[in-house]
């Protein structure tokens, strides 16, 4: 995609796809779907897929037996067959026993790569959560696997399918009303955990060895599982890999940006107690240098939020106006003194009351995820790339991972047009972490 070339998938088009998908589903046999990772977003993604397509869940997998059993019961209540899906504690057992056409990967970040590659090898198309990988080489291997096996892979970067954000793009960016855009701010002022309870024996229902998998086998601390693993450097790239990636990806999508030319970052653990088990950074400023567009990520998990209406979001600065974006809303202010414009997220809770019944559903994200799923289904049916194709997910994910690496090394990283590091052998050696035995780190040329 060239600079300033826009993909016009507006809200009207998305609504049309949504309606068409629901009609098409009625005449088709159910698609065979498997879920790997039955926590918060794994179940949420699966339930949104159920809302837009006829599916039969033929297998679910998780290392937490209680979470697995609970998910199986919820699935049986929602799918038309009312069948309780087969349950597995190891994704390899799932692929040995069933043959899904679609696999959803909703695990913690360090477990995205291997199941996704295994799903491609098994002949399934994949919806994998963001960031696509824990390290850069994993992501390269995932792209290679998708291409080698001819699989459709959609990344859970559903801001690309968010109705109010697409509306803002069409009204203010694609229309030229923002003018020349040369600077973008992405930020998060959300707090983060400062400590975990003391180490303890993992519950009998949790296979902690398998949970850690290829990551280091660290001590189990209550509350890491199921939701706070993002505060562990062994399993996550922190808020850079969680929150920055969403809006950085959206900015790239809006402005037609590919790989940045340079990435630099400063920050670290500046406020959290140094002896805390939580080692992810609480402060970061990163620069993604795209030449004539400078994208800055600002993370501060402490102190006052300077903009309560936009604690997490992006601001696009043009010479004709300013556009603020969040998952909840947008605000446009023209520089000529014209009338400001505001928009809110599309609320579909009345149309989909089950979103309210499933307490973990994010109301602002549900419409986006449904449309993202339909885009995925349309791509696999039509033999086209989805809007958040695995390669686009790799660019956004790897760029955020490299921001953390630049912060760690204390220097800027230069990239070529294919995303390879230029003139930095030390950084190149750090693009893949060592896997814990017996797991083997996949390489792009070996998948």
Domain ranges of the chain: 11-159, 163-350+390-446
**Across 23-32, 107-116, 351-360, least confident range:** 23-32
Give residue 14's pLDDT.
Answer: 45
Answer yes or no: is pLDDT of 58 > 50: yes
φ/ψ (deg, to 5) at 381: -75, -35
Q: Homologous superfamily of 11-159 in CATH?
A: NAD(P)-binding Rossmann-like Domain (3.40.50.720)
Mean pLDDT of 203-213: 98
Q: Which of 102-111, 284-293, 354-363 has the lowest mean pLDDT?
A: 354-363
Percent of the chain with pLDDT over 70: 94
- Which pLDDT score, from 0 to 100, does residue 358 have? 82
Please give the mean pLDDT across all residues of the chain: 93
Question: Residue range 57-68: average pLDDT?
Answer: 98
What angle separates helix 366-382 from helix 40-52, to the nearest 10 degrees?
60
- pLDDT tens, 142-158? 999 999 999 999 999 99
Q: Is the per-residue pLDDT at 353 higher than 90?
A: yes
Confidence at 319, pLDDT banded by 50, 70, 90: very high
Question: What is the predicted pLDDT for the residue at 3?
Answer: 35
Per-residue pLDDT band for 27 (boundaries 50, 70, 90) equals low
What's the mean pLDDT in 42-60? 97
| Residues 6+ away with beta carbon under 8 Å from 5 | 256
pLDDT above 90 (res 22): no
Mean pLDDT for 253-269 is: 98
For the cut 90, the answer to whether the pLDDT of residue 236 exceeds it is yes
Let me know if the fold of 11-159 is the same as that of 163-350+390-446: no
CATH of domain 163-350+390-446: 3.30.360.10
**20 pLDDT higher than 50:** no
Position 1 scores a pLDDT of: 30
pLDDT above 80: residue 189: yes
- Mean pLDDT over 168-185 rounds to 98
User: Has residue 4 got a pLDDT over 90?
Assistant: no
Read off the pLDDT of each residue in 196-206 and give the average, rounded to a whole number.
96
- Per-residue pLDDT at 135 exceeds 60: yes
pLDDT at 359: 79
- Mean pLDDT for the stretch of residues 200-204: 97
């Amino acid at each position: 995609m060239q600079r300033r070339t826009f993909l016009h998938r507006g809200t009207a088009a998305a609504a049309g796809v949504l309606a068409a998908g629901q009609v098409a589903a009625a005449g088709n046999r159910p698609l065979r779907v498997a879920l790997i990772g039955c926590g918060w977003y794994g179940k949420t993604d699966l339930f949104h897929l159920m809302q837009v397509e006829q599916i039969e869940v033929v297998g679910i997998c998780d290392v937490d037996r209680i979470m697995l059993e609970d998910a199986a019961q919820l699935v049986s209540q929602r799918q038309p067959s009312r069948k309780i899906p087969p349950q597995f504690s190891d994704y390899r057992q799932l692929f040995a026993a069933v043959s899904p056409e679609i696999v959803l990967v909703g695990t913690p970040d360090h477990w995205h790569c291997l199941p996704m590659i295994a799903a491609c090898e098994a002949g399934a198309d994949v919806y994998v959560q963001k960031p696509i990988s824990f390290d850069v080489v994993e992501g390269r291997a995932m792209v290679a696997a998708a291409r080698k096996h001819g699989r459709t892979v959609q990344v859970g970067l559903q801001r690309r399918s968010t109705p109010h954000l697409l509306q803002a793009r069409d009204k203010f960016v694609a229309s030229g009303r923002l003018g020349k855009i040369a600077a973008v701010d992405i930020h998060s002022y959300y707090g983060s955990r400062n400590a975990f309870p003391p180490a303890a024996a993992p519950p009998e229902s949790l296979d902690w060895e398998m949970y850690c998998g290829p990551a280091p086998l660290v001590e189990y601390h209550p509350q890491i599982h199921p939701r706070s693993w993002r505060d562990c450097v062994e399993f996550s790239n922190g808020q850079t890999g969680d929150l920055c990636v969403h809006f950085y990806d959206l900015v790239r999508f809006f402005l037609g940006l590919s790989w940045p030319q340079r990435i630099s970052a400063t920050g670290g653990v500046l406020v959290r107690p140094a002896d805390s088990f939580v080692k992810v950074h609480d402060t970061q400023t990163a620069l993604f240098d795209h030449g004539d567009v400078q994208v800055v990520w600002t993370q501060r998990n402490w102190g006052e939020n300077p903009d309560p209406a936009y604690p997490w979001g992006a601001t696009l600065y043009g010479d004709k106006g300013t556009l603020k974006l969040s998952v909840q809303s947008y605000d446009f202010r023209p520089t000529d003194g014209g009338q400001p414009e505001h928009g809110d997220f599309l609320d579909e809770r009345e149309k989909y009351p089950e979103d309210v019944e499933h307490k973990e559903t994010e109301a602002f994200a549900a419409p986006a995820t449904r449309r993202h799923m339909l885009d995925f289904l349309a791509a696999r049916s039509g033999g086209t790339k989805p809007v958040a194709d695995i390669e686009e997910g790799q660019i956004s994910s790897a760029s955020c991972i490299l921001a953390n690496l630049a912060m760690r090394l204390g220097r800027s990283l230069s990239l070529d047009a294919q995303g390879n590091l230029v003139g930095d052998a030390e950084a190149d050696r750090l693009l893949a972490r060592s896997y814990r035995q017996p797991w083997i780190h996949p390489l792009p040329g070996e998948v």
